[in-house]
Amino acid sequence: MNVLSYEKVIPWIRHDGSQRAEFDHRKLATGTDTLYLVSKEGGGSARAITAALVMAVMTEAEKTAALQTGGRLKRPMMTVLDEAANVVRWRELPDVYSHYGSRGIIVSSFFQSYSQGVEAYGEKGMDKLWGAANINIRVAGSGLSDDKFLPFLAQLVGERDVLKRSSSTSGKSGRSVSSSMQREKIMEVSDLAALARGRAILTSSGMPAGLIDLQHYSSMPYALCPGH
């Protein structure tokens, strides 16, 4: 974060009495503006700064919610953490994930893979984050190849009853047919790894897993609306 000490940067982060627009995380927590965070992996990453911004905004939103009726924000805050492992390396995020939902702070986190989340938050942290998301929805898209996550996902999809028939022929009794009900996996690991682009597996609390067809925003009516 030593970039914040550069002479050319200091005027942007220190109040100098001018009327220049200033970012206020307290107003953002209760307003309707949108904060866009952009960072990357590796050298030159600004994720320490973007993570600090997320923590400041969400902590302020939590404080605001606690003072409102029912302990929830009157106007829910939608927090979309795309590329969360690159932008929000906040180790405590899994610990507050479920609690924020009760405060009217709706968090959606996106990862390139489950292992990327493990790298960012640790194995226990990512497991906790995945479990906390159970009250809403969890989506796993195509292109996954994680040898630990895919078997787990296949287990979540579950099994089904399949009617099996077999026949046999003997010289004395002739031909006989028998039927039996057997359990088999709905989707094998290879099926999940080969999901077509635009397809995903959706799981949620209280309902069976489903195979869904994702719709790109450009195909929706609001894609042509000004300001979107």
Can you give the chain as a three-state secondary structure string? CHHHHCCCCHHHHCCCCCCCCCCCHHHHHHCCCCCCCCCCCCCCCCHHHHHHHHHHHHHHHHHHHHCCHHHCCCCCEEEEECCHHHHCCCCCHHHHHHHHHHCCEEEEECCCCHHHHHHHHHHHHHHHHHHHHHHCCEEEECCCCCCCHHHHHHHHHCEEEEEEEEEEEECCCEEEEEEEEEEEECCCHHHHHCCCCCEEEEEECCEEEEEEECCCHHHCHHHHCCCC
Alpha-carbon gap, residue 77 to 80, rounded angstroms: 10
pLDDT at position 217 is 82
Q: What are phi and psi of 213, to 5 degrees?
A: -110, 115
Can you tell me which residue has the tokens 């159970």? Answer: 134
Q: 99-137 pLDDT, tens per residue?
A: 898 899 989 999 999 999 999 899 999 998 888 876 678
Q: Which tokens hold the place of 152?
A: 């787990």
pLDDT at position 135 is 65
Residue 83 is classified by DSSP as T
| pTM exceeding the 0.85 threshold for the entire prediction | no
Q: 176-206 pLDDT, tens per residue?
A: 888 888 889 999 999 999 999 999 999 888 8
Q: 71-84 pLDDT, tens per residue?
A: 999 889 999 998 88
Least confident of 138-152, 195-209, 213-227: 213-227
pLDDT at position 28 is 85
Query: Does 171 have pLDDT greater than 70?
Result: no
Q: Where exactly are the structural domains of the chain?
A: 1-136, 139-159+185-228
Alpha-carbon gap, residue 54 to 108, rounded angstroms: 13
What is the residue-averaged pLDDT of the chain?
85
Query: Does 213 have pLDDT greater than 90?
Result: yes
pLDDT at position 44 is 65
113 and 149 in contact (C-beta within 8 Å)? yes
70 and 78 in contact (C-beta within 8 Å)? no
pLDDT at position 195 is 93
